[in-house]
Amino acid sequence: MESTTTSDIEIMLSSQSKINEVDFENLTFGTVFTDHMLVCDFKNGEWQKPVIQPYQPFTLDPSTKVFHYGQAIFEGMKAYKDEQGDVWMFRANENFNRFNKSAIRLAMPEVPEEVFMGGLRKLLHIEKDWVRYGMGRSLYIRPYMIATGEGVIAQPSSEYKFVIILSPAKSYYNQEVKVVIANHYSRAANGGIGAAKAAGNYAGQFYPTKLAVEKGFQQIIWTDDATHTKLEEAGTMNVFFRINNTLITAPTSERILDGVTRKSLIDLAKREGIDVEVRSLLVDELLNAAKNGTLKEIFGAGTAAVINPIVGFAYEDLYFDLPKIENSMAMELKDKLNKIQYKLAEDTFGWTEKIE
């Protein structure tokens, strides 16, 4: 193992890479990880020196607070390789800012920019060979933070661990998606942590999603917790509805995650002259549009899937197939976003950053 130190990050390189053991043509999302990870501990009221080290397990005491009180947050983002072999991050500052908003909401310390962004840039530079070129290929980036203080007293931890791990990825979903609209279970509630990217948000939706899968659906379109009349998110993604030639998506709130892909698609759509309405769409509006033929498309939007078209939806005892259309807004927007991410089109928004 080779060890070096820069002014801000200690680097311990693996003695041997496992990259040649990886079948990049047959990747299962989120199961293969690169040679190195970044780790930085928060102790005695301050962040310690970040370390880039070989990917390896942690040892944690059974009383570690993350196991008992759920102080755990994360982000999801991607890096891409262009035709010239250069590696680019996409809107990483948005993820950094959202990460710290999640930290504040869960009474965790904010991560300094030099640790999050500086560490990420250095880690991507070291692992750039893991980023493969080709549409649909990327390097998925998972920053996360957990409470590592010990003891089962119900109070915030005094110690935390911030980590960034990297995973080579291809397309996230490879199947048609049918959804059921929630009329009982909720993903988030007013005053809760729905807008934070907290681990518990995802654990809480596994059970209702399992019930949906048992009925032949892949995901749930979540509705507001109070009335179950407002359409909010689709599974782990933000959701868009195309009625006639207008795109409608719910406004962000303390229930709805401020998705980076979501806001990128809104900006792209406006640039292309597509009418966009950021407002709550009611279940009744959706049902009426499906019945009278004005509902053209529904699609989820998120980092992992980018855009995932929904081919049908159910509500109570009703089911509707979505029409198959040639001029899909979802596919048009996905293509334009991908071309910016892979540097195949001009980035007029300034969303991409080259890794030197």
Q: What is the pLDDT of residues 178-187, one digit of tens each?
A: 999 999 999 9
Cα–Cα distance, 50 to 301 (Å, whole number): 32
Determine the pLDDT at residue 286.
Answer: 98
Cα–Cα distance, 79 to 163 (Å, whole number): 17
Asked whether 35 and 55 are in contact (CB, 8 A), the reply is: yes
Cα–Cα distance, 123 to 138 (Å, whole number): 15
Cα–Cα distance, 31 to 168 (Å, whole number): 9
Instruction: For the beta carbon of residue 6, count every other beta carbon within 10 angstroms.
Output: 11
Burial 54-75 (b: 16+ CB within 10 A, else e): beeeeeeeeebbbeebbbbbbb
Determine the pLDDT at residue 175.
Answer: 72
3-state secondary structure of 42: strand
Asked whether 302 and 237 are in contact (CB, 8 A), the reply is: yes
Instruction: For the beta carbon of residue 253, count every other beta carbon within 10 angstroms.
Output: 16
Nearest to 309 by CA among 318, 320, 322, 319: 322
Rounded mean pLDDT for each run of 10 residues along the chain, 356 residues in total = 63 96 93 98 97 97 98 97 97 98 98 97 98 94 98 97 96 78 94 95 95 96 96 94 97 93 97 97 98 97 90 96 92 96 97 97
Angle, to 10 degrees, between the axis of helix 260-271 and the axis of helix 92-105?
140
Cα–Cα distance, 25 to 320 (Å, whole number): 35
pTM score above 0.85:
yes
Domains in the chain, please, with CATH?
2-169 (3.30.470.10), 177-341 (3.20.10.10)
Cα–Cα distance, 306 to 302 (Å, whole number): 5
Determine the pLDDT at residue 5.
Answer: 47
Asked whether 40 and 47 are in contact (CB, 8 A), the reply is: yes
Determine the pLDDT at residue 326.
Answer: 87
Residues near 194 by beta carbon (within 8 Å), at least 6 away in sequence: 187, 188, 201, 253, 254, 255, 256, 257
DSSP 343-354: TSS--TT--EEE
Determine the pLDDT at residue 174.
Answer: 59
Residues near 285 by beta carbon (within 8 Å), at least 6 away in sequence: 243
